[in-house]
Structure 1
Amino acid sequence: MKTILITGGGRGIGKATALLAGSRGWSVGINYVGNEAAARETADVVRAAGGRAVTLRGDVAVEADVVTMFEAAEQQLGPLDGVVVNAGIVAPSCPLTEMSAERMRRVFEVNVFGAYLCARESARRLAPRGAGSIVLMSSAAARLGSPFEYVDYAGSKAALDTLTVGLSKELGPQGVRVNAIRPGLIDTEIHASGGQPGRAQRLGVNAPLGRAGRAEEVAEAAVWLLSDAASYTTGAILDVSGGR
């Protein structure tokens, strides 16, 4: 049985990962920043599936929140075996010429600075124990660029690809694995937050597999990377994108 923390664990891919982990009997810390009801609902379903769960409020872009979140997770669940750095945001679609500085700053604060803070805290806890797994949630946007839509988001996710490569080399000698997943068009709420609730279904038909993906399909990859079955996998960037 493993003990994991998932940032942004109350919805979408984070929620699906929490539920799959719970079905394996794992203990799951579910981080959220605003939607407490969704986080609590996810925790209830994790418990019903056979796992343990706690909810942990915190803004990943605030260092004090991140440190407190990790401390609370270990106090309530025990030492962590793995972390899914999943929390991320997107803003309404537009070309770069129309993006405000405030919008771009917030996207990078959450998606880059927040991810680096969470990866740092993960490393500080896992490395001394000589084992563990960090999974960074990147995006196919990192290699596609998301022109005229979210080039800021795409750039923020490209930073996670680089973090995966570098951090895996730093932590490998200490027994900690670091990998990333690049989801493609996955049918989750993030598209609605970007002003296009039907985006995944509309564009998913153009993927080689002919459809949008499901959060559960990404969760399978995340839980595999967290598990001992992926014991020789580190520094990998796994596309779960339907071939897109």
Structure 2
Amino acid sequence: METDASSRPVTIVTGASRGIGAAIAERLAADGHDLVLTFRDRVADADAVARRCEASGARVRFLQVDLADLDAAATIVPTAIAEFATITGLVNNAGITGRIGGFLDASIEESELLFRVNVLAPIVLTRAAIAHMATDRGGAGGSIVNISSGAATTGSPNTYIPYSMSKAALNALTTGTAKEFGPVGVRVNTVSPGTTRTEIHAAAGRPNAPEERAPRIPMRRPGEPHEIAGAVAYLFSPDASYTSGADIRVAGGN
């Protein structure tokens, strides 16, 4: 049965051309969402994700945006509203880790870039989304999911302390906005993956990191992107209508 386009949720997912972001986009498309997806530089991958989402019946708009450019990040929500007339959801998924290594070896320039992508861009997007969704501003409410990390609570010594700091900041964004904007119809939650089998580890200089860490994970394996997407899908579902300010840890027992 076809769904009236005007009644379909419209969700923004950042960093959706691969890995966890792509899995989230495809799951939400299957659940009936129309999508505004962002990517930085993987055009072919973005096109493939868009085709798979469209095959599930979703209307899809892909935007090429470098989230380190905060002025560019500020165009995403207005573009989504212009395209679909509304947005009902936002997934702050895009993120970078920096190079894996000791704290003293991490440059301040790398940490600054990391915080622009992992913290400041989500602030920009979240502010714009809430301004549109909040019922006291004429909106109809909505839901925001921040993709954090199990690293936010471990500190990640000898691995990527600045990354863990950025994810702890994202957790604080969830806690604060859930409390401030719950009264005006906006739910905000976190999903915190543990080690997951994606390309992010190769970008950090340790492509075999998931397998190396597996013996220290209670379930003795890394996660898969679709397992993270399932938690995100729950938070957008009617079953989560009373869930806000939560952190769902999808980390194999860690």
Q: 1:17 and 1:238 mapped to 2: Cα distance?
A: 15
Question: Segments of 4+ in structure 1 off by > 4 A?
Answer: none
Report % sequence identity.
Answer: 37
Query: Displacement, 1:51?
Result: 1.5
- Using the TM superposition, give the Cα deviation of residue 194 of structure 1 relative to its aligned residue in structure 2, in angstroms: 0.5
Question: What is the one-letter code of the residue matched to 2:236?
Answer: L
Q: Which residue of 2 aligns with 1:65?
A: 72
Instruction: Tell me, yes or no, if structure 1 residue 25 matches structure 2 residue 32.
Output: yes
In the TM superposition, 1:142-153 aligns within 5 A as 142-153=152-163
Residue 124 of structure 1: how far off its partner (Å): 1.3
Q: Does 1:100 align with 2:107?
A: yes
Task: State the aligned residue count.
Answer: 244
- Match for residue 155 of structure 1? 165
Match of 2:88 among 81, 93, 96: 81
Secondary structure of the residue that 1:20 maps to in structure 2? Answer: helix
Letter in 1 for 2:98: A
**CA apart distance, 1:77:** 2.6
CA distance in 2, matches of 1:78, 1:191: 37
Q: Is the 8 A contact 1:24 1:50 kept in 2?
A: no
Structure 1 residue 151 displacement after superposition: 0.4
1:152-174 residue CA offsets vs partner (Å, 9 max, x unmatched)? 10000000111111010111000
Aligned to 1:11: 18
SS of corresponding position for 1:80 = coil
Indicate the residue corresponding to 2:4 in structure 1.
none
Partner of 2:232: 222
What does residue 116 of structure 2 align with?
A: 109
The one-letter amino acid of 1:146's match is S
Q: Deviations over 1:173-221 (max 9, x none)?
A: 0010000111001101111110111111221232111211010000011
Q: What is the rounded CA distance, in whole Å, between the counterparts of 1:207 and 1:94 in structure 2?
A: 20
User: 1:62 and 1:169 mapped to 2: Cα distance?
Assistant: 28
TM-fit CA distance, 1:130: 3.7
Q: Is the 8 A contact 1:207 1:243 kept in 2?
A: yes
Q: Which amino acid aligns with 2:52?
A: V
Q: What is the one-letter code of the residue matched to 2:244?
A: T
Asked whether the equivalents of residues 3 and 78 of structure 1 are also in contact (C-alpha less than 8 Å), the reply is: no
Aligned-residue offset at 1:148: 0.8
Kindly report the root-mean-square deviation, in angstroms, between the aligned alpha carbons of the 2 structures: 1.2
CA distance in 2, matches of 1:223, 1:42: 17
- Correspondence 1:51 to 2:51: no
What is the distance in 1 between the residues matched to 2:191 and 2:164? Answer: 14
2:179 to 169, 174, 179: 169
Alignment match of 1:203 (pick from 185, 189, 213): 213
- Answer whether contact 2:174 2:189 (CA < 8 A) is retained: yes
Code of the residue aligned with 1:50 in structure 2: it is G
SS in 1 for 2:188: strand
Q: 1:242 and 1:169 mapped to 2: Cα distance?
A: 29
- SS state of the match for residue 4, structure 1? strand
CA contact (8 A) 1:139 1:182 kept: yes
